[in-house]
Chains A and B, each alone.
Chain A
């Protein structure tokens, strides 16, 4: 089969590799129809996530058709159309029983690597480093899905791939980011980063009843989408105005009731702070640049919540703990427990409450994956979200 392989920093190639095989009795093999490039894939692309190996198959947002099931998979049949959640979860352990699927205690065969860096291991993920399992990803024609009796959700043919594909990661991720804010009527939420996850966090905050949502980014096309499609009430371009001042002005001096960090560890900002973090990162003195996170903590109103859904890989510097402690802030975070959100969010899509496909800006054939990574990284052609399709797709780049 053909698969998108990571070869090194900023080097991705579509190669011919062996077809996946059933390795465990609860596996299924899925023929991928649509798969997306995630913002977190860019962290791999930039080489800031440790324990990648040259030749790893990328991709953790994918859907398709079941073509083979292991002997213990009773709930799926060959031919079923499914969306697959990016965390791999057994459904049997204490974490899974609590709905914390992204913290599954059994799905990471390389847990020891994660323990070295993180103290304990989270769940294994598709196509996301060896420390998170060494599982082949879904930016390929076929993919092996472990614990297929737990993760995948069947989707009706009345919905298009674009409408349901983002259930695999970024819609539930944005939704969980908003949910962690504990939104109450009248709340004002600030969302740092208006990328695909940020857009869906804005839309989710609205679904959950936020009175106003303020989006922060540096790209006008993203801020425009945030206002026009996601439902942001106001936007701040941090290259044009001071985020702290603008947020205080927009909230009558209170600061937002909650802030969502939808940026993660490769944040941008102003000189000299950006230069400071860039240098420390280059010297391996910190692995992540937490510029947006620092701003979110500083801006958040007293007693508020900072919800972190942007991905961090390791260590950050100059963490404003004084602000967190003295102003009674709550920090909530986590990789999304996608399995828990699949059904309710699919129902919201079916009821027409939201159509997450508004973030998709480009469709390409799988073979163009390297170009897709490049476009997404450099924000070319107002790129917001790239979907790769297998088979019978027009080879034109933009949809």
Chain B
């Protein structure tokens, strides 16, 4: 099993980023070295790459040196940001253009300019590689850069077996997941989910159980097609909390936010911060398992802000679940 800090979804990208960072550090040293040389000894650099040493060229050389130095310092300061790798690449293209002009103007010593062009082109390839790695690896639908990724966790004072069992019965999920209306079990692996989007519009998807390790881990993902309007994948890990404090529940989710009708609805369904919604769901799960039901206040039974004073009419009773058993209706939790 992966260590606590590495997770299946992020692993591949994290690995690519790690290699990108090492490359970026090498390029940073190169940038600083070249930049200092161009700034302090522009004549020497000009001689090495075979360009003329008149005043304007030496001035331009110092400007290029300052740019190199800035990119180098940037790479050192923000080793995880692709921005400075892209800055270096842009610089490479400028250098290539300048060297190309020099090549066209020179009659003698062209081989030195050609050598410089080759060197810059080589470095450009490395810059491109670093930029791409730092920007994150690209791949299929959910692995694409547009997929959103988040993790949330909570500690629940109940045994791992009980928390796992409660979650594994997917029909329990609407009891604490505020946006979820129903979960219909289709067969051993597949289930049909209906959630409420903005303006009470319902959003549906079919999910497939990808992994089910009792008392350890449940993972699922949406099935493309099959009426799926929400492409996502998720996993939940159950870990015994230290000191007999019950169970740590770690949820990890990725969801795709494509353009168009569904994308917009989805963004609203999850609100501006989907991680926040899941965090709220986990708190409600804790309430249900520890106290027997979702706690309500005079304000919290309303969607949106409402003064803390009793409602005109009593809302439907809160869905009750006993801490040690799971009897009770599976109607959705009205409480928001």
Which of B279, B292, B300, B320 lies in contact with A110, CB distance below 8 A?
Answer: B300
Question: Assuming A25-B320, A136-B308, is B299 touching A53 (CB within 8 A)?
Answer: yes
User: Does A134 interact with chain B (Cβ within 8 Å)?
Assistant: yes
Cα separation A251 to B307 with both chains bound (whole Å): 50
0/1 per residue, A107-120, Cβ < 8 Å to B?
Answer: 11111100000000
Question: Assuming A53-B305, A90-B290, A92-B291, is B297 touching A109 (CB within 8 A)?
Answer: yes
Which of B286, B307, B308 lies in contact with A105, CB distance below 8 A?
Answer: B286
Closest chain B residue to A27 by CB distance?
A: B296
**Those of B115-171 within 8 Å (CB) of chain A:** 155, 157
How far is the CB of A235 from the nearest CB of chain B, in Å?
Answer: 39
Question: For A124, what are the chain B residues with a Cβ–Cβ distance below 8 Å?
Answer: 295, 297
User: Does B327 interact with chain A (Cβ within 8 Å)?
Assistant: no
Which of B286, B299, B310 lies in contact with A18, CB distance below 8 A?
Answer: B310
Closest chain B residue to A150 by CB distance?
A: B291
Among A54-62, A253-261, A314-322, the stretch that binds chain B is: A54-62
Chain B: interface secondary structure? loop
Question: Assuming A21-B314, A56-B309, is B280 touching A112 (CB within 8 A)?
Answer: yes
Which of A26, A93, A109, A133 lies in contact with B292, CB distance below 8 A?
Answer: A26
0/1 per residue, A43-81, Cβ < 8 Å to B?
Answer: 000000000011111000000000000001000000000
B309 lies within 8 A of A93 (CB): no
How far is the CB of A92 from the nearest CB of chain B, in Å?
Answer: 4
User: Does A17 interact with chain B (Cβ within 8 Å)?
Assistant: yes
**Those of A116-174 within 8 Å (CB) of chain B:** 124, 127, 130, 133-137, 144, 146-147
Question: For A19, what are the chain B residues with a Cβ–Cβ distance below 8 Å?
Answer: 310
Cα separation A309 to B226 with both chains bound (whole Å): 59
A24 lies within 8 A of B310 (CB): no
Cα separation A106 to B312 with both chains bound (whole Å): 26
Question: For A134, what are the chain B residues with a Cβ–Cβ distance below 8 Å?
Answer: 297-300, 306, 308
Question: For B242, what are the chain A residues with a Cβ–Cβ distance below 8 Å?
Answer: none
A20 lies within 8 A of B299 (CB): no
Closest chain A residue to B158 by CB distance?
A: A92
**Those of A81-95 within 8 Å (CB) of chain B:** 90, 92-94
Question: For B309, what are the chain A residues with a Cβ–Cβ distance below 8 Å?
Answer: 3, 5, 17-18, 55-57, 136
Q: Residues of B with Cβ closer than 8 Å to A?
A: 155, 157, 245-246, 276, 279-280, 283, 286-287, 290-301, 305-312, 314-315, 317-318, 320, 323, 335
B292 lies within 8 A of A130 (CB): no
How far is the CB of B334 from the nearest CB of chain A, in Å?
Answer: 11
- CB-defined A-B contacts under 8 Å, sample of 10: A17-B310, A18-B310, A21-B311, A24-B293, A56-B309, A57-B309, A90-B295, A134-B297, A134-B300, A134-B308
Closest chain B residue to A107 by CB distance?
A: B295
Which of A24, A55, A57, A136 lies in contact with B318, CB distance below 8 A?
Answer: A24
Cα separation A23 to B298 with both chains bound (whole Å): 8
B318 lies within 8 A of A18 (CB): no
Closest chain A residue to B283 by CB distance?
A: A111
Cα separation A144 to B290 with both chains bound (whole Å): 21
User: Does A208 interact with chain B (Cβ within 8 Å)?
Assistant: no
Question: For A26, what are the chain B residues with a Cβ–Cβ distance below 8 Å?
Answer: 291-293
